[in-house]
Chains A and B, each alone.
Chain A
Amino acid sequence: MDIVAEVLKKSAETAEKYKPITVTKHLDLEYDVGSLLAVDKNELDTKAINKNKNDYLLSLTRDNVQLLLNKVWDLPTERVDETVVVRLPPSTFVLPRSKPVPRPKPLTKWQQFALEKGIKKKKKPKLSWDERLKKWVPLYGFKRSIAEKEKDWVIEVPQNADPFEDQFEKRKIAKQERVAKNELQRLHNIAKAQNIKIPRTGLLNPDVSSSKDLQAAVTVARSSTASLGKFQDKLPKEKEARGISAITPGASRKRKLPPVPATQEKEENLAVLNSILNKKPKLDIEKAVNRQINQEETERSTEKKTRKPGGNKINKSKGGKKPKSGKGKSAGRKRR
């Protein structure tokens, strides 16, 4: 009897020391055991918080941790090296990012163009069979260049070309030019992506420059005189390049004219009009000839009208009829 009482007393003591593993909650917690997360949606006891914040939060946390651990204990356990181990399921809770989503990489000029035009990249095979060499040639790399050299061991001199020109050298230079241009474009793309202003390169090579570049070069060159191109003549249909007004001080910019009083505008218009009217040639030959013809015609018609009664009678009797054959010697057509 004594022993029983002692045991009961001991267990009561331990029960007092350790809190119970069952916790009752109004609303069940939401668990994500994979990331060891429990979300308590129950209302906080404001009274208890006001009374003793720390103790309340501590006890609340203990209860919730107890519930979470209960869930963990529900999982199948293993024993590894004398320790109880649990394999956690994959986590379901989506953690928000700590950093903003990275921006998409700015497109290169070509990519942008291809996107606009709907050009899709075609996949090329890495190796292709060369009929002439009878072997597989890679798309690029040193083996490709060896193969090219092998293939083009001789180049035909094109017609109208200088026979003493080295065609191999020419081809090499063209390749170098293309590579350099590509590199320049790559750098341009980087500069564009990082919004860096790059100095103008001017005209690089007439073979690779676009018509736009050429036009810009012409416009800049024309304004590059001491008088900012004021006295430089223009070709009849020459247009000024756009977007370079910042570096061509002489270039006329399209700008809205400043408002002026109406009377002044009227005078300006009249001045323009007078310059046009004065420019017209004083003597228009065609007009003069036409007038002359017109005058002669009217004269003739009036003459006819006045001559009708007297003069015509004589005429009619004399030459009105056709000359008949045989009557006069000189008149009429000769017959054979």
Chain B
Amino acid sequence: MKRLSEERTKILFEKLCKYIGSNIKLLIERPDGIYCFREKKDRVFYVSEKVLKLAETVGPDHLISLGTCFGKFTKSNKFRLNITALNYLAPYAQCKIWLKPSAEQQFLYGHHIKKSGLGRISESTEKYQGVVIFSMSDIPLGFGVAAKSTAECKHSDPLAIVCFHQADIGEYIRAEEDLL
């Protein structure tokens, strides 16, 4: 368990920036104590200072996880967000997509979102921006990358992909052993 290097912090924030923009500040500056990012085996964890102090008493070989896993760094030093980060992405998301109830299952099985499944999309979504996916009843389902901007969405045909799938809460079942 170690602090993120400056380079890696930058990579992490750049990634988070795509989803929650300047709201990252709210993750760092919290009224309920100090929270920080820690790295273990290339995985990045978001932990409160209190939990961190407790976790430091556990030997590195025995410690598997602490706080919330945000994702991991790949071998080529890119950052991949995990579905476990959704709890912190959803409330601060800048761009959202709401899914029609009929398209929810498709998305939860790991498919991209088609125009036909699109219920609502937040205004001024840019192309290739990170978006958080909600059901119509405002339950966060996952996140992805917008394949089309809002304006383009209006004119595309119903089978065109609107959002690329990145992570969904179905992974809690599908990839149970990979999640920390």
* A contact set with B: CB distance below 8 Å: 256-257, 259-260, 262-263, 265-266, 268-270, 272-273, 275-277, 284, 286-287, 290-291, 293-294, 297
Task: Provide a sorted-by-A list of 12 A–B residue pairs whose CB atoms are within 8 angstroms.
Answer: A257-B5, A262-B49, A265-B3, A266-B29, A266-B34, A266-B36, A269-B28, A273-B13, A293-B151, A294-B124, A297-B151, A297-B154
Taking a contact as CB atoms under 8 Å apart, the answer to whether B17 and A276 are in contact is yes
Q: B14, B36, B123, B127: which contacts A269 (Cβ < 8 A)?
A: B36
Instruction: Find chain A residues with CB under 8 A from B149 CB.
Output: 286, 290
| Minimum Cβ distance to chain B for residue A255 (Å) | 9
B147 → A minimal CB distance (Å):
14
* B24 CB within 8 Å of chain A: yes
Does B65 interact with chain A (Cβ within 8 Å)?
no
Do A269 and B37 form a contact, CB below 8 Å, given A276-B13, A276-B14, A287-B124?
yes
Query: What residues on B are CB-neighbors of A290 within 8 Å?
Result: 124, 126, 149-151
**Nearest A residue to B53, CB-CB:** A262
Instruction: Check A257–B3 contact: CB distance below 8 A.
Output: yes
- For B10, what are the chain A residues with a Cβ–Cβ distance below 8 Å? 272, 275-276
New A-B contacts (10) at CB < 8 Å, excluding given A269-B28, A276-B14, A284-B126: A256-B2, A265-B36, A266-B36, A272-B6, A273-B25, A277-B22, A290-B150, A291-B124, A294-B151, A297-B154
* Alpha-carbon separation in the docked complex, A257 to B6 (Å): 10
Instruction: Evaluate contact between B24 and A287: CB separation under 8 angstroms.
Output: no
A275 to B34, CA, bound (A): 21
Contact B150 A294 (CB under 8 A): yes
Are A273 and B28 interface neighbours, CB within 8 A?
yes
CA distance A284 to B14 in the complex (A): 17
Residues from chain A with a CB closer than 8 A to the CB of B2 are 256-257
**Is B106 an interface residue when CB atoms closer than 8 A count as contact?**
no
- A263 contacts which of B14, B25, B34, B127 (Cβ < 8 Å)? B34
Closest to A237 in B: B76
Q: Is B9's beta carbon under 8 Å from chain A?
A: yes
CB contacts (< 8 Å) of B25 on chain A: these are: 270, 273
